Amino acid sequence: MTPMRVALMIGGCWVIPTFISFLPIMQGWNSIGIDHLIEQRRHSEGSNSTSCVFMVNKPYALTCSVVAFYIPLVLMVLAYQRIYITARAHALQISMLQRAGGAAASTDSADHQRNHRMRTETKAAKTLCIIMGCFCLCWAPFFVTNVVDPFIDYTVPDKLWAACLWLGYINSMLNPILYAFLNKSFRRAFLIILCCGRKRYRRSSILGSGAPCTATQINGSTHVL
């Protein structure tokens, strides 16, 4: 993947939320047609105090949920279907290579490197599957509720809304834990950053690691992982 493509993808992650969240809400498009309901809830129970009430109409609920969650969910399912098929093919190749035991030493070395690469790719695919699975499980209740609520006259209890929202926030808390727990390279990179890139830690990290060394750049300086 080229740096330009990476930059475009990162830029898209910022631009798309601007058009589906910030801009429509600032313009009040989310409340078109339901202003009277918002006012009723704002002055509910005869209280003299007013509260901040956020509600969305049906078009905005559908558009926001589809763009922010359901389309990425479909793309992830399709991508992991392809990853699963590829991993199955790699596993079959590994099994066939292990059964063919009469190869030359040079061939054995090449096969060993190929098998190691296949296992690494399969492990990476499983790691990403766990991370994306947690994302879907944590955010699915919120986006399902977000779509259903406008069609049932906004009768979803506030406590259920809060539970769904906090479940989504929990996903953000889980991400660094999952990355650090499932990926040794991420663990080393996190520790280097937390230790402010101190040479003593970088040296001990390199000596204590059995994985191949690679170079990465953090804050403009090169570190060996």
Task: For residue 166, give the amino acid letter.
Answer: W
Q: Taking residues 17-29, report their average pLDDT.
A: 88
Residue 138, pLDDT above cutoff 80? yes
Handedness of CA 224, 201, 196, 174 (dihedral sign): positive
Domain ranges of the chain: 1-55, 59-182, 185-225
The predicted-structure confidence for 181-215, as pLDDT tens digits, reads as follows 887 777 787 788 877 655 555 555 444 444 444 44
Q: CB within 8 A of 175, min separation 6: which ones?
A: 131, 134
Residue 50, pLDDT above cutoff 50? yes
The predicted-structure confidence for 90-101, as pLDDT tens digits, reads as follows 777 777 776 665
DSSP per residue, 32-80: TT-HHHHHHHHTGGG-SS--------HHHHHHHHIIIIIHHHHHHHHHH
Which pTM value belongs to this model? 0.69
pLDDT number for residue 105 = 45
The fold adopted by the segment(s) 59-182 is Rhopdopsin 7-helix transmembrane proteins (1.20.1070)
Reported as type and span, the H/E element at residue 86 is helix 71-99
Q: Give me the helices (H) in 100-198, please.
A: 105-151, 158-182, 184-194
